[in-house]
Amino acid sequence: MEKLPWWNDAQKALADEVERFADEITLRAQELVWRRKYPVEIIKETGKRGWLGTILPEEYGGSPETGFTGSCIVLEELSRVSLAGMHCIVHLCDEYMLLKHGSDELKEEFLPRMARGDLIGALVVTEPYVGNDAAAIETVARKEGDEYVLEGKKRFISGVGVSDVYFVLARTSDEPEAVRRHEHLSMFVVERGAEGFHVERVNELTGFDNIYNAYLDLDGVRVPADRMIGEEGEGWRVLMTMANYERLLASAVPLGMMREALRYAIFHMSRRVQFGQPTLALPTNQFKVADMLMRYHAARLMTYHAAYLFDLGKEPIIEVAAARCFNADLAFRVFEDATQCMGGDGVTKFYPVEAFVRNGKIGQLAPTTTDIMKVVVFRFGLRAWADALRPPRRKIHDELKVPVTVGYYGDGAAAAEKEKAEGRSITEDDVLNALAENYKVNPGLYMHRNDLKEELGVDDDKLDALLTALESKGLATLYRRKGRIELARATFKGLKAAKVEEYRWFPEWVDTEHMF
């Protein structure tokens, strides 16, 4: 494993140890896949070696010096040889929820044993009718004395059967205000063997050849109140606290698979002779290898940069969502290219690459789809980078008579216009002229209300009144969002009525005799 320059000594040592371990268990991991036996022994051995506690304090059996980066190192190496890494995601997330929100008693009872791999955890959220919209779950937790009674069904739950403790999200309120505030859910620890808690059926998926993924039936499951993580109504907050860490871990898993796919593709093409030469000599295959190498390198940098930010105590929501989406999609392309490079051998089960393709598709869907990650990047990215993405302030150049950028809205570039506006009343003509000038500069674009406010030095109420008046006269077209005017442009009638200079302009090379 390539060690990145900002890793500390503990993280570098961990990388060497886990790589040796992955090499040692390769044969056993493949045997478990062929026999379709759950890799629970690999998960437990990972715990015995102390690698399931990379983010836990020492008092709970953790090794915090390796931190979030350490958990990614473990999953990258483990996942190149075994799907045990997929289960480790939920196990580590369970630990994280307990660490952040569990009572001292719950932490002391569960965390040391989970860190050692003596107890294996599963996360129980998804339901038959509820997927990414976790706030809409229907499983109910009804309080009776000092217990809660859980009723409902869950599906697509990984690690069912072999897990010892299940972290179950359930609804504890239907009160509209609580639902609106996302205070209607609670998180419970349910132990294997609880009465009324059963596996309903096991799914046969595209991938996950030796990983259980199943439905769960909760039929009157009684859970002591002290088995709740956090307070009643804090389940959503508990889940969201973990979500970003889960996405980070899910970003690390494809890395090992990508490297292994590259390993087998190059191994195969170096030894497969066609048309008198190894297939690796074909330029088309060399281009594929170059693409795979670039994707793997970029994916690693995104993942470990996000992990480093975690280790610094930050909450890198955008970076993690981007890595999660980027890695899942790029990994799938790497697996496809590796398969293509290996030809017919690539689609046989005698090489692990075909399984990477199948598991790679699952990786684009769980945990949390790549489409949802793009929504997260869009929403948080626009806010986080608002200053860097300030809209350009464009004008017609006095001499060249062409549109040019003269500054950015929000940086004081329109201060002169504001000063000129002070002491006089802004009129409909002022607004219409601004819209007409915008037509000359950005002929296909509306003008944002914030641009108009800064250009004219007018307040919201006054601007709304003026724009509405122009609209009523057919001089402007307005776009409203949730009833509020957001964008405006001059109509053809408005352009004609505006008191602006000539709209016409031709480059010098144009013969004006041809223009009419």
Catalytic residues: 94
What number of H helices and E strands is found in the chain?
Answer: 16, 15
Contact 334, 340 (CB under 8 A): no
Establish whether the linkage from the previous residue to 224 is cis, with ω within 30° of 0. no
Q: Which among 339, 326, 168, 308 is positioned nearest to 255, based on CA atoms?
A: 326
Q: Is 27 exposed, middle or buried (0-12, 13-18, 19+ CB in 10 A)?
A: exposed
- φ, ψ for residue 88 (rounded to 5)? -60, -25
8 A C-beta contact, residue 466 and residue 427? yes
**DSSP per residue, 303-347:** HHHHHHHHHTT---HHHHHHHHHHHHHHHHHHHHHHHHHHGGGGG
DSSP state of 391: P
Packed helices 283-311 and 67-79: angle between N→C axes, nearest 10 degrees: 150
Angle at 464 between CA 459 and CA 466, to 5 degrees: 95
Amino acid 415 reads: A
Is residue 47 packed enough to be buried (19+ CB in 10 Å), middle (13-18) or exposed (0-12)?
buried
